[in-house]
Structure 1
Amino acid sequence: MTRVCLIGNDNCNLQYELLSRETSREALATYDLTRPFENTIALRTVSVGAAVSLLNDLNWYLTRFVDEALVQEPSISDDEWLSRSLAEQLRNGAVEPDETAEFCKIYGLERVADTDSEDEPKSAATDGDDSSETERARSEPSSRLVEPLYVRRTAGELPDYDLRDVDETLVVRLTEAEHSP
């Protein structure tokens, strides 16, 4: 199954913004939502095409509340993600799977203190709908994504993340244009 992860803007609560609006809430209603990192929402789709289609359906909300939309396709990599642009190129046949690994962005994963945030709303508005998606998405993440490092894979190896002292990282494959704007 292909995974999608939406990384929220710093100035908003992504879960609240997406689930409090009827159109985005309905688009996400059929998915089991999780929060793998602070201010993110993740879900599984059946394919890269379905993931890109969902992102296109949510585009109005993505431009307002999301810093980045990521797609993870197991046939490409079990532990690396694709940028939205790269996933679109892959779906459209403009790039082959083995051509996706050269340009990357590496996020550090920083541990989050296990406390309730007072600036987060207690629940998203649901207009009387079943709020099970909201409750599933509420699980508190144990880490947050920090400072991306843009790198180029050479001889099949990625450089180490050295912007902060972190135990884990998350690798996102990019298009050349995203790597060198």
Structure 2
Amino acid sequence: MAVGLHCQIRNFFTRLIHQHTAIHETKAQDSTSLRSSTTPHRIKESTMAPHTQQKKSGKAQKQTKKFIINAQQPASDKIFDVSAFEKFLQDRIKVEGRTNNLGDNVVIQQAGEGKIEIIAHNDLSGRYLKYLTKKFLKKQQLRDWLRVVSTSRGVYELKFFNVVNDEADEDDE
């Protein structure tokens, strides 16, 4: 009797599974037919953005970006070591998810006194460089004194925070 009950339960579940898969197959077919239909009746064609196809080439085009990090002011005050920062960037910049993988894709060099020039032939963002600069400042315990400001596109400058001299205010009173 237990064997018969076991067979009935097994048959019940196999029928249930077959019904379930059949329902999902019909739903999948319905959803693909809905996706392939034209625009819904509620949206007018004139209000929609024009559909443009992008050309897909085999290779992504190389973009050359140039970034300059200007640290002249703190370097002239001898609180910021530009060569150590250059070494830090060479060690920390990731190319294709790996550090120490700069190769010819990214070139880091000093451009004048207190300036570092980064030329990237691949996708490198300025926000990433700003993040790494802040990380270096934190490591050198300069984050409380210096901030990274974008003065123009691709140019970042290290500036001192404007510190109000409270002692001078107290002397005036």
In the superposition, the TM-score normalised over structure 1's length comes to 0.30
Higher relative strand content: 1
Q: Which structure's CA Rg is the greater one? A: 2
Higher RCO (C-alpha 8 Å, min separation 6): 1
In the superposition, the TM-score normalised over structure 2's length comes to 0.31
